[in-house]
Structure 1
Amino acid sequence: MKVPAFFVVLVFCATFEKCFCKKPKPPKPSCGYPPSLWCKTLEIATECKVLKQCMELNATRPNPAVPKVEVALYYESLCPGCRAFLVEQIFPTWVMLNDIMDVRLVPFGNAVETQHLEKYEFQCQHGEPECLGNMLETCIMKLVGDMGFLIIFCMEAAADVLTAAQPCVQLYAPSVKWEAIMTCAKGDQGMQLMHENAEKTKALNPPHEYVPWVTINGEHTEELQDKAMSSLFTLVCSLYKGGKPPACTGALKKLDRSFC
């Protein structure tokens, strides 16, 4: 999961007895590309006059040839333990290590699936509200894409997961209509997506015994589970095979920085 890149401009003032700043120059004409694409190619970076900044940014990025650490969470939307792990462990770790870490969320958990003709029905451990929460989060991931994780974090961190769903979608994906999410959750698309979650959960080896159930690079052991629950950040850093990012080592990387 990726988030858009942003550029932060720091304004430094010359200080004597008082702080004085030069009058800012008028903004340069737009290069025609959004900031998220400025470092995509050498040509775009040159046109947008951010080549040096992009080179500095790329110097801190891990080697793309080294596989990321995949953390998969099999969970239930209203399970207190699942919510705490997602909000307090997975999301903060992903914020700091998203360059070396991928997150996969599978909301189903201890639910029970039954089939009647061509329809699937679901019974959830925490009742119908949880089934709706699972379905909403599944549909959000399908319809929203990369921003889905931010929306699910927003929901799970709220006092009421279901009440928070619509405003969280409006906050992080304003172009996605809430009606489309509900149509998915109440219709055949959501039913099929939840069936796929059920199949993924049933296919776990070893079979899951509780939630939250964590797999690391497709593997689950009690040792990995314990390490993930106690410090997922440390676990991801230790398992990444490439050069450790500064967030893992605590090291400061000296760069030739420019200031405005």
Structure 2
Amino acid sequence: MFGRSYVALAAFMLLALSSLPASQQKTIVKGNASCDKLKIGIYYESLCPDSIRFVLTQLPRAYASLKEYIDITFVPFGKAYTKGDPDGDIEFVCQHGQIECEGNRMQSCALSFIPDPDKRAQFVPCVMNGTDPRVLGPKCAAEIGLNYGDVERCYATDEGLNLQLQAQSDTYAIQNPLNFVPTIVYNGDFNQDLQDSSLSDFEGTICRQLPCVSCT
């Protein structure tokens, strides 16, 4: 018998595909060639309107149709930065205020406990689909079978701090600061043309980089 998290994920993917207008739905055709998984980094902020739009409208349908060909890393930091002494108290400052910083940290913690890529792809849109990801955290965790107590412990300790410092380091390795949030990076290299096309057609942008797949 399927678990609740499996059923929730299946419903999520079905909704992502069935809600598209017919003109936007793509047919995925697998070729004879094989290809390595495309590594995708999504650098975003928990309260950024453009980040929210991307993870709610672009991510679900692209993941639903192409998940076997991609490996996504979510990095919730964006244009945030730190203040304070590295040997003392460190304060994060976020583009959309303190709640966003708390949302970023919560997501960093949660994602560190979610090894299943399907569940990560379900969790992020779930917590971004509202005005406060901290409030949605427990509900979204329950939907994928994540113990939210682990997330709260991480958040309240240096574990959460260090995860956000790592997110900062990973983000700055792409751009410091990011020119736009979200920033979408393929195989570790930023490309402005791919960035621009990803925001409006993430699925198509992925397809064009996979020699073993065509999308029509």
TM-score by length of 1: 0.66
Indicate how the Cα distance of structure 1 residues 119 and 67 shifts in structure 2: closer, same or farther if over 3 A, else same.
farther
5+ residue gaps, structure 2, are: 8-28
Question: Of residues 180, 188, 204 in structure 2, which corresponds to 1:210?
Answer: 180
**1:151 matched to 2:120:** no
Indicate how the Cα distance of structure 1 residues 61 and 170 shifts in structure 2: closer, same or farther if over 3 A, else same.
farther
Give, as a single letter, the amino acid of the residue that structure 2 aligns with 1:241: P
What is the CA deviation profile of residues 69-89 of structure 1, one whole-angstrom value per residue up to 9, with x for unaligned ones? 222111100001101011111
Indicate how the Cα distance of structure 1 residues 159 and 132 shifts in structure 2: closer, same or farther if over 3 A, else same.
closer
**1:163 matched to 2:135:** yes
Deviation at 1:208, TM superposition (A): 2.1
Which has the greater radius of gyration? 1
TM-score by length of 2: 0.78
Partner of residue 25, structure 2: none
Measure the CA separation in 1 of the matches of 2:190 and 2:34: 25
Q: CA RMSD in A?
A: 2.6
Q: 2:40–2:186: 8 Å Cα contact kept in structure 1? A: yes
Give, as a single letter, the amino acid of the residue that structure 2 aligns with 1:86: V
Match runs of 1:76-91 below 5 Å:
76-91=45-60
Between the aligned residues of both structures, percent identity stands at: 27
Q: Give the aligned length.
A: 189
Give, as a single letter, the amino acid of the residue that structure 1 aligns with 2:48: C
**1:131 matched to 2:126:** no
Indicate how the Cα distance of structure 1 residues 61 and 184 shifts in structure 2: closer, same or farther if over 3 A, else same.
farther
5+ residue gaps, structure 1, are: 6-59, 250-260
Using CA pairs below 8 Å that are at least 6 residues apart, which structure has the higher relative contact order?
2
Partner of residue 258, structure 1: none
Deviation at 1:157, TM superposition (A): 2.2
- SS of residue matched to 1:93: helix
Indicate how the Cα distance of structure 1 residues 119 and 206 shifts in structure 2: closer, same or farther if over 3 A, else same.
closer
Indicate how the Cα distance of structure 1 residues 128 and 213 shifts in structure 2: closer, same or farther if over 3 A, else same.
same
Could you list the structure 1 runs, at least 4 aligned residues long, displaced by more than 4 angstroms after superposition: 60-65
Greater helix percent: which structure? 2
Measure the CA separation in 1 of the matches of 2:73 and 2:148: 23
Match runs of 1:215-226 below 5 Å:
215-226=185-196
